Amino acid sequence: MRSNPHFQQLRNDYLFSEVNHRIKAYQGAHPEAHILRLGVGDVTLPLPAPIIDAMHQAVEELGHIETFRGYCLEEGYPWLRKAIIDNDYAPRGIQLDLDEVFVSDGAGSDLGNLSELFDQHNRVAIPDPSYPAYVDASLMAGRTITFLPCSADNAFVPDLPPKQADIIYLCYPNNPTGTVLTREQLQRWVDYARQNHSIIIYDGAYEAYIEEDDIPHSIYEIDGAKEAAIEVRSYSKSAGFTSVRCGYTIVPKQTGLQAMWLRRQCTKYNGTAYVSQRAAEATYTPQGKKAAQANVNYYKQTARLLRDGLQALGYQVYGGINAPYIWCKTPQNMDSWTFFDYLLNQCQVACTPGVGFGPAGEGYVRFSAFSDRKDCEEALKRIKNLA
Ligand code: PLP
């Protein structure tokens, strides 16, 4: 047996384990310290009651012979796929067929697995900084990556790839920078992909956080996108499903990849848990929608608090309006880890070093609105006292 040599290409300093390691080390040396964790990308509010009720009911059904369910379709129950089309796409004028919607156990799995659809020699383009899974999945598959640097100079919107890119990962609202694309900006990417026969893998995990009117919620709002894009969505950050696990991926037939993805899923994926699919369905009922939106609104308020608070303290901040993340320039050109250590040591505030999302993230840190509200208020006071 020879192991996959491409794993050697992966950076072994996995961002969040290093962050946890440093926090743990500090806590060990200062057991009395109350560390405020403002970096975590996981949700913190409990699941809304209508979703819990739906899960209880689904569990109950599995316990009775009349309502028991076994394996379901690999691509998900038709009632959930229909609810997705009716709620997330039709109201925006997007027509999809049921067999273009694939229910998943979350965006993370599909973002990695989609890579199997493409020839190994395809060239990949990934904005830098970015959510680490795109880079890692591409490296594991042995592909060459072109990084598209994002900085304050281009408002964290990458330029089109300088040379042919076959697979392009885009994530908007963006993790980690919190930025969004306008319709015109997204149209340029779709046009590029169509002209170059590329495919865009569009990660819409934070779609629920969009609040400004002219920002597209789905890439399929853009002319020609059905030929050129796969869209990946998740209930993790819209309804608190990080432990429940459910999301979906749209593979339009015009991409020429729908039948391949179905085949791949039928071979390697035996479907999303019934209880999780019923929970996802419950996010579309009037009560479910209202309750999930209340949680998203809470996080959005926290994002505003952090953004405005940091700005008032003189920090240069981005994001935090259509996204739960605030991307913050470090003071005095400190590098990301130095500023991370500085905040941890001086005021026991933990953030996420921007360089962990790619070299262009150097000199930035990410604050997360999923943090406890009181911790955010307290952190802003502590950071203020540092000055
Ligand atoms: N995409 C982005 C940009 C994310 O930030 C995350 C999780 O933090 C994911 C995908 C994974 O989401 P899921 O929980 O659906 O796997």
CA 182, CA 251: separation in Å to the nearest integer? 23
Whether the Cβ atoms of residue 111 and residue 133 lie closer than 8 Å to each other = yes
Q: What is the pTM of this model?
A: 0.97
* Residue of 237, 249, 357 with the most ligand 1 atoms within 8 Å of its CB, for mutation: 237
Gap between the Cα atoms of 28 and 8, Å rounded: 32
Instruction: Look at residue 72 in the predicted model and tell me its pLDDT.
Output: 86
Q: Can you tell me the distance from the alpha carbon of 380 to that of 387, in angstroms, rounded to the nearest whole number?
A: 11
Q: Looking at the CA of residue 104, tell me the nearest atom of ligand 1.
A: 15
Q: How far is the CA of 325 from the centre of ligand 1 (A)?
A: 13
Is the distance from the beta carbon of residue 276 to the nearest atom of ligand 1 less than 6 Å? no
Strands (E), 206-360: 229-234, 247-250, 317-319, 325-329, 349-350, 352-353
Residue 234 Cβ contacting ligand 1 at under 6 Å = yes
The pLDDT value recorded for residue 348 is: 98
244 lines ligand 1 (CB under 6 A): no
- The whole-angstrom separation of Cα 121 and Cα 124 is 9
Choice from 126, 203, 230 to test ligand 1 binding pocket (greatest atom count within 8 A of CB):
203
Select from 37, 29, 19 the least CA-distant residue to 348.
37
Mean pLDDT for each 10-residue chunk of the chain (387 residues)? 93 82 97 95 95 98 97 95 98 98 97 96 97 95 96 96 96 98 98 98 98 96 98 98 98 98 97 98 98 98 98 97 98 96 98 96 98 96 91
Q: Which atom of ligand 1 is nearest to the CA of 246?
A: 15
pLDDT value of position 129? 98
Residue with CA nearest ligand 1 atom 5:
175
What φ, ψ does residue 382 adopt, rounded to 5°? -65, -40
Structure tokens at 68: 């028991």
Q: For residue 17, what pLDDT is reported?
A: 87
Q: How far apart are CA 368 and CA 178, in angstroms?
A: 10
Residue 324 CA to its chain's centroid (Å): 10
Q: Work out which ligand 1 atom sits closest to the CA atom of 174.
A: 3
Alpha carbon nearest to ligand 1 atom 11, residue: 108
Residue 238: predicted pLDDT: 97
pLDDT at position 13: 67
- Taking 3-state DSSP, the helix, strand and coil percentages for the chain, each rounded to the nearest 5, stand at 50, 15, 35
CA distances from 342 to 26, 83, 130, 339, 351 (A): 12, 48, 24, 5, 11
Q: Is 112 in the pocket of ligand 1 (CB under 6 A)?
A: no
Cα 114 from Cα 57, distance rounded (Å)? 33
Task: Output the CA–CA distances (angstroms, integers) from residue 268 to 109, 110, 257, 323, 359, in the order listed.
Answer: 12, 12, 16, 33, 34
